[in-house]
């Protein structure tokens, strides 16, 4: 694609500051590599507080329609104000656009202080189901009319022995599990990954997470010959053991595929091992639409948002550049970030030398200097 229009949403809190820094890096890399032969036309669209001010709603229909039209977007973190009617704007966008694969690569960048001895052994990609499990879960409060009626039905018709309690239902389906596994396998085949691990709690939750495991293996059978030809191994592991093994033997893992909640826990835990979620990118991808985003939130605790770390968003943009085939620009940015951080320059949250602590835009400029 020599010219492509990509939507962007600034986001709330630190969003505008890190978006400005990240966009400067993306544009500079594209100009440096392609000298005008390829370019991105940026088109702003709205969600969150900026959308509320402009359209009177946190998630305008126009934004969803534009994403359906242009197919690719990148966003900053979004706040969900209390009483908004949404559990989460991020979740709402994923569900309404059927962005069923949450993809998060977690890889150590040398020079970042990490809490474990060998963070360089962490190099995994997490494929997390993005539309069901707790994201599609239904809850009723203890002693509500709904929970009491449901408990009565379960006890009388299905022989359970439930007492008064809050009740939650989490759906996991064959269709949504299998399409995620197909996407995971195709990614492994196309990117020379060597192992896929199915993470589940099927020893206890036999018909939700247990079936997640079963359905994943059924998809493996569809790709048996291709997986064998590429020597790609597929195994599975119980979720609690996965957390232990992620700390003890991270180099044993390559791609993890998980239901929604397990993936939420694991992606943050893995990010912590390499220095935190501020440096880990993310993507939400469906069959037609892709929306890239940082893994962190709006960071209301940062007193000076100009000092926020744009790395997660910049690297999310790297994933986006790879997605559209601008791989040379993507590689340039990755190498320049690594060099910049190795030389000691970074934002205060990951800086080990206060004299080299930079604002978001200063950090972007340092990255560009390394091109």
Catalytic residue IDs: 135, 201, 240, 264
Report the alpha-carbon distance of residue 22 to residue 258 in Å, rounded.
29
Q: What DSSP line would sit under 290-347, residue for residue?
A: EEEEESS---TT-S-GGG---HHHHHHHHHHHHHTT-HHHHHHHHHHHHHHHHTT-B-
Report the alpha-carbon distance of residue 7 to residue 97 in Å, rounded.
14
CB atoms within 10 A of CB 5: 14
For residues 55-75, b (16+ Cβ closer than 10 Å) or e, as one string?
eeebbbeebbebbeebbbbbb
Report the alpha-carbon distance of residue 153 to residue 150 in Å, rounded.
5
Residue 206: phi and psi, rounded to 5, are -70, -25
CB atoms within 10 A of CB 131: 23
Record the tokens describing residue 84, joined without a space: 């908004």
Secondary structure class of 4 (helix, strand, coil): strand
Report the alpha-carbon distance of residue 103 to residue 352 in Å, rounded.
29
User: Do the Cβ atoms of 275 and 110 come closer than 8 Å?
Assistant: no
Q: Among 245, 268, 305, which Cα is nearest to 14's?
A: 305
Q: How far is CA 75 from CA 12, 120, 125, 130, 282, in A?
A: 10, 28, 20, 17, 10
CB atoms within 10 A of CB 158: 8
């Amino acid at each position: 694609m020599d010219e492509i229009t990509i939507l962007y949403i600034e986001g709330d809190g630190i969003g505008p500051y890190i978006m400005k820094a990240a966009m400067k890096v993306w544009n500079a890399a594209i100009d440096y590599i392609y000298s005008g032969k390829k370019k991105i036309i940026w088109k702003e669209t709205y969600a969150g507080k900026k959308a509320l001010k402009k359209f009177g709603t946190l998630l305008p229909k126009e934004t969803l329609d534009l994403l359906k039209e242009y197919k690719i977007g990148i966003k900053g973190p979004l706040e969900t104000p209390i009483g908004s009617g949404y559990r989460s704007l991020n979740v709402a966008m994923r569900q309404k656009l059927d962005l069923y694969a949450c993809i998060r690569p977690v890889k150590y960048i040398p020079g970042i202080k990490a809490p474990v001895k060998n963070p360089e052994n962490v190099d995994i990609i997490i494929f997390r189901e993005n539309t069901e499990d707790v994201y599609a879960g239904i809850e009723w409060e203890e002693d509500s009319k709904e929970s009491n009626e449901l408990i009565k039905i379960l006890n009388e018709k299905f022989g359970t022995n439930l007492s008064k309690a809050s009740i939650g239902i989490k759906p996991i389906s064959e269709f949504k599990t299998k399409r995620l596994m197909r996407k995971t396998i195709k990614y492994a085949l196309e990117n020379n990954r060597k192992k896929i691990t199915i993470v589940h709690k099927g020893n206890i939750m036999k018909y939700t997470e247990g079936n997640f495991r079963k359905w994943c293996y059924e998809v493996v059978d569809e790709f048996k010959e291709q997986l064998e030809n590429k020597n790609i191994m597929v195994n599975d592991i119980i979720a609690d053991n996965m957390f232990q093994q992620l700390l003890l033997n991270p180099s044993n893992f390559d791609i993890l595929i998980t239901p929604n909640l397990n993936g939420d826990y694991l992606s943050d835990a893995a990010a912590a091992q390499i220095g935190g979620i501020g440096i880990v990118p993310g993507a939400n991808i469906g069959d037609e639409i892709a929306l890239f985003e940082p893994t962190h939130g709006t960071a209301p605790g940062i007193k000076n948002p100009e000092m926020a770390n744009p790395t997660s968003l910049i690297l999310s943009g790297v994933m986006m550049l790879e997605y559209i085939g601008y791989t040379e620009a993507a590689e340039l940015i990755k190498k320049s970030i690594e060099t910049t951080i190795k030389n000691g320059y970074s934002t205060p949250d990951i800086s080990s030398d206060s004299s080299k602590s930079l604002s978001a835009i200063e950090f972007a400029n340092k990255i560009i200097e390394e091109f």
